[in-house]
Homo-oligomer: A and B are copies of this chain.
Amino acid sequence: MSTKTVTVVENIMSANDRVAQENRNQLVEQGIFAINIMASPGAGKTSVILQTIKALSKHVRIGVIEGDTAPVTIDADKIIKAGMPAIQINTGGACHLDAPMVNTALKQMPLAEIDLLIIENVGNLICPAGFKLGSHANIVVASTPEGDDKPYKYPNIYRGIEVLIINKTDLLPYIEFDMDYFQKGVKMLNPDLVSFPMSCKTGEGVDQWSQWLLSRIRRTSGNE
């Protein structure tokens, strides 16, 4: 019984990974750099995306895939208002994006017209960690009011990422958040991680993050 269950799960995972690889190939062919942004609900994924658009839209063309569990277009509307193409994936209650969902969205995205694809995953610090989408880099947006113990409690999501944005630094004077304890937890799980403290309200850290992203985009398109 348990052997059979494991086999089924492995098949699902490898089917997902196969489509993730197809997505990646398609992105590479078009010279697009793609990031997958994951976070708890309300950590500020959409705010980070809007700041990124503001910082980079003069330099690169950006497209956004918005993952939502419900058929509301609150986030997609904000992206479109910022002048960028946005495709919404409604997961129908499911707790994460998977590679086939992104594959479907890619068919609707004007790929020839973008250099950077930003995928906003569903707000969830657990399930998205297990599903590759085909992006070049996985990013987590942490949020200071969530507390400094999150790396210790939700380790898996921190393990497979390249960049950590620590958002809402403007709230630090009003909350208890030990940055050293937080960073110690993060480094234990993922010593090579690049992290950017940020406030989407004051703009702190947006430049540093945007410069990192721009250099990665240029490296990708230079390889083509």
Contacts and interface: CB of A to CB of B under 8 A. Distances in A.
Contacts of A170: 174
A154 interface: yes
A147 interface: yes
Nearest to A171: B174
Contacts of A23: none
Interface string A23-57: 00000000000000000111000000000000000
B74 A156 contact: no
Interface stretch (A65-73, A105-113, A206-214): A65-73
Given A69-B126, A126-B69, A156 B93 contact: yes
Contact of A125 (B124, B146, B152): B124
A93 B128 CA distance: 12
A42 B40 CA distance: 9
A186 to B, nearest CB: 14
Contacts of A101: none
A42 B126 contact: no
Contacts of A69: 126, 153-154, 156
A153 B74 contact: yes
Interface residues of A, number: 33
A143 to B, nearest CB: 7
Q: Which 8 A-B pairs have the closest CB atoms?
A: A42-B146, A145-B145, A95-B126, A42-B147, A40-B41, A41-B125, A40-B40, A72-B152
Interface string A135-159: 0000000010111011011111000
A29 to B, nearest CB: 32
A168 interface: yes
Nearest to A95: B126
A127 B125 contact: no
Nearest to A176: B201
14 contacts: A40-B146, A41-B146, A41-B150, A42-B145, A42-B146, A68-B153, A69-B126, A69-B153, A72-B153, A93-B126, A95-B124, A95-B127, A122-B126, A171-B171
